[in-house]
Amino acid sequence: MAAERAGQMDATSLGVFLAETFPQVAGDFAIESVTAEGLVLRLRVREAHLRPGGTVSGPSIFALADVGIYLAILARIGPVALAVTTGASIDFLRKPAADADLLAEVRILKLGRSLAVGDVLVRSDGAEAVVARASMTYSIPPKAAG
Amino acid sequence: MAAERAGQMDATSLGVFLAETFPQVAGDFAIESVTAEGLVLRLRVREAHLRPGGTVSGPSIFALADVGIYLAILARIGPVALAVTTGASIDFLRKPAADADLLAEVRILKLGRSLAVGDVLVRSDGAEAVVARASMTYSIPPKAAG
Amino acid sequence: MAAERAGQMDATSLGVFLAETFPQVAGDFAIESVTAEGLVLRLRVREAHLRPGGTVSGPSIFALADVGIYLAILARIGPVALAVTTGASIDFLRKPAADADLLAEVRILKLGRSLAVGDVLVRSDGAEAVVARASMTYSIPPKAAG
Amino acid sequence: MAAERAGQMDATSLGVFLAETFPQVAGDFAIESVTAEGLVLRLRVREAHLRPGGTVSGPSIFALADVGIYLAILARIGPVALAVTTGASIDFLRKPAADADLLAEVRILKLGRSLAVGDVLVRSDGAEAVVARASMTYSIPPKAAG
């Protein structure tokens, strides 16, 4: 837990944290890599994520962006289960490829004492075109500063 | 179906349309009323919508707003299964009450030939405080104009 | 100044505060009324606000919403010059009427210790159609709580 | 003008277009470079852009992002004076440096027949920290497709 005490979590410890804290959704996600700017998160697309016509639903893409930015914040400050999303904007740009997972490329743009902001580009696995763009703000509880 | 031909759907026909088109989520929602400005949509909060601590998850609130604005557009223009969300912004303002459904009060602000915009206030059933605010843009396919 | 000490400002004291704090833009705005939910702010549309074709520019409408929500927060908590906008979303729905002022109808949706959120509908003076919708988040400095 | 007929404008022709179409604000901006993803636009910060305390005003940063994405769309599709902003979200992350211009790094994320979406990171000239993030949607008039 030395890395976490130092306020840094790698892909493995983020995965463990996700499984323990959000057991109901953890199986949907896989942390591909932790990068200098943020991380890459995979949504394992299943039947439950789809809308008629085979499109991944908007709320599923929203959840991917939300979990991705949340984990990227934790990668920097360590496990803070109580960070909460206060605001988000999202643009749905293209229909995702059928039968492909989605990959979210997350950047942390600000990590302040009380607010963190990140943005995300979502693409179908193996494709270049951007499926969605999102940015979100998280409120970080005071205890996290200690 | 006269009402639908005229481009207007009431709460009952919206409910039927929802059940036929989105069977996997239709059970989560109930149309409370269709108003002059839009409609009121209920999210029947269940275990699957919750996050640790008993909070309704962000993606569940996003889905409530998304479905609410979608149905309010259909209430005006009739059943157009292919209208798609192109953009959304959402602010999470307060933790919802435990053990209460959520009610979304939807207003349609613009209904153009190709774009429709609505906004939503989300409250816990029986409470005045606003839990979340959202606004969304939908792209309406050309055939819908016919 | 008793009203301000109590954390409440009326239209007159808001106007004085605006003129003292933002002398370079105060002449553009007039506070029409302070309401239970927020306030109504007028943009006195002048040549400098217009784009080719006679449309009021996006940044001018953004400024109207921004100043409107700011003043509505001050109407509740008293003069806090250092509250800053941290996030905003805006939808431009229709071209405003030529040769008409704009009116912003502001609602405060949340007024917390550190964050405040409001939304705005902008219309041309004398018209019903909504020209723009905006929502904004303000960060309130800790001293304001005292 | 061959480049424009081909639907592509370089920094010089964008600058000429800006000066002819928006003479009232063209002097505030300088196109630094046109990139594969979009372009870099400079805001020449002057007294008129400042708020008390020396901060660049929110509407000025909004205008920088708005003009930057607009020009980056034109760089791809040629001069289309009637493209209009339909929606925008912006996050203000840090106070910009005093006495420095602002640079907006624009990416076009989608360029469809009727809608274009771009995002922007704004930094103080010479600094790494992101001052603001914005994303905007433009509606492209049908004639532009010809």
The span from the CA of A89 to the CA of A35, in Å, is 23
Residue C133: other Cβ atoms inside 10 A? 24
Which residue did the predictor score with more confidence, B26 or D8? Answer: B26
How distant is the Cα of B70 from the closest Cα of chain D, in angstroms? 18
Q: What is the pLDDT of residue B104?
A: 98
CB C135 within 8 A of CB B89: yes
Q: What is the DSSP letter of D82?
A: T
Q: C30 pLDDT exceeds 50?
A: yes
Smallest Cβ–Cβ distance between B21 and the set A22, A52, A62 belongs to A52
Q: Provide the pLDDT confidence category of residue A43 given band limits of 50, 70 and 90.
A: very high
> Which chains, if any, share at least 3 CB pairs under 8 A with chain C?
A, B, D
Residue A57: other Cβ atoms inside 10 A? 20
Q: What is the pLDDT of residue A60?
A: 95
Would an 8 Å CB–CB cutoff place A33 in contact with chain C?
no
Which residue did the predictor score with more confidence, D3 or C47? Answer: C47
- If phi > 0 it is left, if psi is from -120 to 50 it is alpha, else beta; for residue D54 that is left
- D69, D91, D115: best to mutate for the B interface, most B CBs within 10 A: D115
pLDDT, tens digit, 9 for 90 and up, residues B99-137: 899 999 999 999 998 999 999 999 999 999 999 999 999
Q: What is the pLDDT of residue D119?
A: 98
Which residue did the predictor score with more confidence, C113 or C41? Answer: C41
Would an 8 Å CB–CB cutoff place A115 in contact with chain C?
yes
Smallest Cβ–Cβ distance between A135 and the set D89, D117, D137 belongs to D89
At residue A78, what are phi and psi to the nearest 5 degrees?
85, 175
Q: Provide the pLDDT confidence category of residue A47 given band limits of 50, 70 and 90.
A: confident
Q: Which residues pair with C102 in a beta bridge?
A: C43, C124
Q: What is the pLDDT of residue D7?
A: 57
Chain A residues with CB inside 8 Å of D117's CB? Answer: 91, 93, 133
Q: A4 pLDDT exceeds 70?
A: no
| ipTM of predicted assembly, 2 dp | 0.90
Would an 8 Å CB–CB cutoff place A110 in contact with chain D?
yes
The span from the CA of C119 to the CA of D118, in Å, is 24
Q: Are β-strands C84-92 and D84-92 bridged in parallel, bridged antiparallel, or unpaired? A: antiparallel
Quickly tell me which residue has 């994303």 as its tokens.
D135
Would an 8 Å CB–CB cutoff place D93 in contact with chain A?
yes
At residue A42, what are phi and psi to the nearest 5 degrees?
-100, 135
Q: Are β-strands C102-111 and C38-43 bridged in parallel, bridged antiparallel, or unpaired? A: antiparallel
- B67, B86, B90: best to mutate for the A interface, most A CBs within 10 A: B90
At D8, which amino acid appears?
Answer: Q
Residue among C121, D22, C126 nearest B121 (CA):
C121
The least confident of A21-25, B74-78, C65-69 is A21-25
Would an 8 Å CB–CB cutoff place C130 in contact with chain B?
yes
For D115, name the nearest residue in chain A, comparing CA atoms only: A93
Q: B4 pLDDT exceeds 70?
A: no
Q: Edge-to-edge, what's the strand order for the sheet holding B115-124?
A: A29-34, A38-43, A102-111, A115-124, A130-139, A84-92, B84-92, B130-139, B115-124, B102-111, B38-43, B29-34
The span from the CA of B73 to the CA of C45, in Å, is 33
How distant is the Cα of B104 from the closest Cα of chain C, in angstroms? 15
The span from the CA of C71 to the CA of A85, in Å, is 26
CA distances (Å), origin C50, targets B51, B75, C95: 48, 36, 12
The span from the CA of A122 to the CA of A92, in Å, is 9
> What is the average pLDDT score of chain C?
89
Q: C145 pLDDT exceeds 50?
A: no
Would an 8 Å CB–CB cutoff place D86 in contact with chain A?
no
For A139, name the nearest residue in chain C, comparing CA atoms only: C115
Chain B residues with CB inside 8 Å of A86's CB? Answer: 91-92
Cβ of C89 within 8 Å of Cβ of A89? The answer is yes
Q: Which residues, given as ranges, of chain D have pLDDT below 50?
A: 1-6, 145-146
> CB pairs under 8 A, 24+ apart, for C46-49?
C48/D24
Which residues touch D47 (CB under 8 Å, ≥6 apart)? none
How distant is the Cα of A65 from the closest Cα of chain B, in angstroms? 10
Residue among A84, A77, A54, A67 nearest A28 (CA):
A67
Q: What is the pLDDT of residue A143?
A: 61
Residue among A25, A36, A30, A34 nearest A15 (CA):
A30
